[in-house]
Amino acid sequence: MNRRFQIHPTSLPGVNRIERMSISDHRGFLQRVFCNDELADAGFSKPIEQINRTLTHQQGTVRGMHFQRPPHAEIKLVSCLRGEIFDVAVDLRQDSPTFLHWHGEVLSEANNLALLIPEGFAHGFQTLSADCEILYCHSASYAPQAEDGVNARDETLAIAWPLGITQLSDRDASLPLITADYRGVGL
Catalytic residues: 66, 136
**Residue 187 burial (CB < 10 Å; 0-12/13-18/19+)?**
middle
Name every residue whose Cβ is closer than 8 Å to that of residue 56 and which is 6 or more positions away in sequence: 63, 127, 131, 132, 134
**Residue 178 near residue 154 (C-beta atoms within 8 A):** yes
CA angle 116, 119, 124 (to 5 degrees): 60
Nearest Cα to 120, choosing from 181, 43, 47?
A: 43
* H helix count then E strand count, the chain: 2, 14
Query: Rounded to whole angstroms, how far apart are CA atoms 32 and 187?
Result: 30
